[in-house]
Every structure is written in C-alpha cells, then in structure tokens.
C-alpha cells in the first residue's frame, strides 16, 4: 500500500477508532505498521542497539497510535503517525546512546588520538549549535532536525508535516538564514547572546 492508500484507509477507520472500536484500532495499526516499520528502519537502521531495532521502534509507534488515536482530531492522520515515529526514534536513539555509554570500556576510548584542545573545540562547537537551535521557533527546529538529523527529503518532510515540498524548502532556508544572521550578529557584537 502506498502512502495515499494508507492515508485513505486510516481516514476511513478513524471515526470508529476514535469512538473506541477495538477492531478499527487494530486495523489501523495493521495498515500503518508496514509503512512505519520501513520508515523507522530506513532512518535508524535495523540494529540501533542490540536491544532496539527499527522494528522495535515501529512497534512503539503503533502502541502509541493505539493509545492516542482517541484524542487525535487531525484531518490527515499520516503526518500524525510520522510525527509519533520521529519522537519514538529520538527516544530510541537517546536510549542507545545512554546504553552505549554505560557499556563503554573506560580503558578503550574512541578518540585516543584527540588532544584536549580538539575535544574542547568540539564541545564548544556542539554547545554553539545547540544554543543557536534553541533560539529558533519550534517549527524551524523540527524542520532542521528532520532534514539534517533524520536525513529526510523535502518530499518526505512535506508528507509528515502536511505541507508542500516547496514550503518545506523555504522554511528550511529561512531557518538556516536565521541561524547565520544570529551568528554574524554575535560575531560583530558578542553581547547579543
């Protein structure tokens, strides 16, 4: 089933699912699952961590869909499903990072060749990016996250956000321009933070 057929089926089942019809909810999950699994596996791979795969994340997305569909009043449901998937993938990546840190052998480092100065510059750079992103409106942060962290195409982002690829490209350009302008202003006037 392609995305248009999935959206059509979800919309057909949504009124019954919202009223608590368990069969309709299960059918929505059955229809959405293959698309969600493919999306998650393409974004995070099949083995994010030995205990968490794209398939595991897709299951989490479907569980969230089952529990939240009753309160979802959106006209288009696929962007909602993709939004849940984005959040669940972020959760899985954070869990994997935390878990890999706790599994990490302190006697072996990934960056043995790095000197303290390089490590400090890398940390400072990451802090600057986080600070610049925090200054952006939520929608701009979401667009940049989808594009550069999740590596989504403008077409896929448009589907998720319920807009057009052109509008996504314009919003991405504006968000990047906003960051560039703020950085230039701060270089000229360091007190502007």
Q: What pLDDT score was predicted for residue 102? A: 55
Phi-psi region of 20 (alpha: psi -120 to 50; beta: other; left: phi over 0): left
Tell me: do 142 and 180 sit in the same domain: yes
Q: What pLDDT score was predicted for residue 170? A: 92
Domain extent for 70 = 1-104
Tell me: do 124 and 192 sit in the same domain: yes
Tell me: do 120 and 162 sit in the same domain: yes
Task: Count the domains in the chain.
Answer: 2
Stated pTM of the model: 0.53
| 173 within domain boundaries | yes
**Separation between Cα atoms, residue 80 and residue 66, nearest integer Å:** 12
Tell me: do 61 and 94 sit in the same domain: yes
Tell me: do 96 and 123 sit in the same domain: no
Tell me: do 41 and 1 sit in the same domain: yes
Domain boundary residue, one of 53, 80, 104: 104
**Separation between Cα atoms, residue 33 and residue 175, nearest integer Å:** 32
Q: For position 44, which CATH number holds? A: 1.10.1740
Q: What pLDDT score was predicted for residue 32? A: 92
Residue matched to tokens 């309709």:
24
Tell me: do 38 and 98 sit in the same domain: yes
Predicted confidence pLDDT, tens digits, the chain (193 residues): 888 888 899 999 989 988 888 999 899 999 999 999 988 888 776 555 555 677 888 888 888 888 887 777 777 888 888 888 888 888 887 777 776 655 554 544 444 445 666 655 566 666 777 788 788 888 888 888 888 777 778 888 888 788 888 998 999 899 888 888 887 887 777 665 5
């Amino acid at each position: 089933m392609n995305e248009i057929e999935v959206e059509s089926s979800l919309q057909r089942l949504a009124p019954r699912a919202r009223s608590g019809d368990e069969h309709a909810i299960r059918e929505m999950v059955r229809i959405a699952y293959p698309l969600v699994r493919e999306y998650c596996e393409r974004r995070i791979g099949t083995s994010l961590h030995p205990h968490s795969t794209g398939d595991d994340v897709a299951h989490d997305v479907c569980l969230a869909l089952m529990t939240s569909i009753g309160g979802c009043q959106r006209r288009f449901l696929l962007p909602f499903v993709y939004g849940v998937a984005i959040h669940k993938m972020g959760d899985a990546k954070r869990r994997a990072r935390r878990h890999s840190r706790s599994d990490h052998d302190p006697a072996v480092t990934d960056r043995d060749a790095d000197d303290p100065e390089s490590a400090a510059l890398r940390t400072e750079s990451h802090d600057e990016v986080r600070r610049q992103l925090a200054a952006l409106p939520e929608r701009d942060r979401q667009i940049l996250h989808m594009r550069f962290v999740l590596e989504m195409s403008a077409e896929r982002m448009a589907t998720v956000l319920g807009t057009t690829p052109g509008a996504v490209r314009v919003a991405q350009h504006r968000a990047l321009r906003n960051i560039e302008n703020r950085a230039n202003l701060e270089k000229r006037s360091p007190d502007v933070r």
